[in-house]
Amino acid sequence: MSFSTALVWLSIHPIYRHLLVLLCGIALAKVMNMVVILWCYSRHNALLWQSAIMLLCPSLFLALSFTCDDIFTLCWTLLLSWFLLALCVIDIRCYLLPDKLTLPLLWLGLISHSNASTATLRDAVYGAMLGYLAMRGIYWAGKKLIGREGLGYGDFKLMAALGAWLGWMSLPLVATFASVLGMVLFLLRYIVTKNSGALPFGPSLAISGLVIYISQPTLYSG
């Protein structure tokens, strides 16, 4: 069976596609656990986090398999979701968004548009550039006005990566949704734990970016 025939077969038989995606999610959850341990090696709650990843990654993959009919779109969506979930976990655990994940994510975003129209690819390039510059500007303004670093350099690069995947026109939506989500998460944490310390912004960006990426065909269809 050729590769193209296999893709057609998976498209015609959704139940097998969902099963394959679930199995891929389980396998990639194990890879994600190794990646997280690489940057956040700690025995504190390690088993809890590993179990959470083994549950979250396959569940997310399975849910996404119902959102995409086109097998190529599904593959790109799963790739994006894997990177974003890994970045979420690492940022929550050790307040870090590693360059070795954010930079490949940026390049993959540009590559995902390589077969699209020139205008779409241009929007992705502008998205990467403006995403980085906008976050850098917010960081600089916050540091000058209130004397605090509200964002990290990893946030700049994650926003640039999301700009590459989504295009520059989606950046205001990502920033708005991420800001609202960040405030909600901060309030919930404060209500539950009375902790008013810094909250990593990477997960809010990642969740907002993935939701908008999945919703884009609906948002811009008219």
Instruction: Tell me the pTM.
Output: 0.88
Residues in the chain, total: 222
Mean pLDDT over each residue of the chain, to the nearest integer? 86
Q: Within 10 A of 150 (CB to CB), how many other CB atoms are there?
A: 13
Pair 170, 216: CB distance under 8 Å = yes
CA angle (75 as vertex; 70, 81 as ends), nearest 5: 120
CA dist., res. 156 & res. 139, Å (int): 9
pLDDT of 9 above 70: no
Q: Give the pLDDT score at 157.
A: 94
| Chain segment 91-124, per-residue pLDDT in tens | 999 889 999 999 999 999 999 998 877 888 899 9
CA angle (167 as vertex; 92, 169 as ends), nearest 5: 100
| b (16+ CB within 10 A) / e for 128-149 | bebbbebbbebbeeeeeeeeee
**Mind giving me the DSSP string for 65-87?**
HTT-SSHHHHHHHHHHHHHHHHH
Comparison of pLDDT for 18 and 209, the residue scoring more: 209
Q: Within 10 A of 184 (CB to CB), how many other CB atoms are there?
A: 11
| Chain segment 118-151, per-residue pLDDT in tens | 888 899 999 999 999 988 888 777 666 666 666 7
**Any idea of the CA torsion for 217, 220, 221, 222, to the nearest 10 degrees?**
160
137 Cβ contact partners less than 8 Å away, ≥ 6 residues apart: none
Measuring CA to CA, how many Å separate 211 from each of 33, 53, 61, 85, 117?
A: 23, 19, 14, 12, 23
Q: Give the pLDDT score at 71.
A: 81
Pair 57, 85: CB distance under 8 Å = yes
Q: Give the pLDDT score at 10.
A: 55
Average pLDDT, integer, range 36-54: 83
Average pLDDT, integer, range 23-27: 94
- Helices and strands (DSSP H and E) totals, the chain: 9, 0
pLDDT of 220 above 70: no
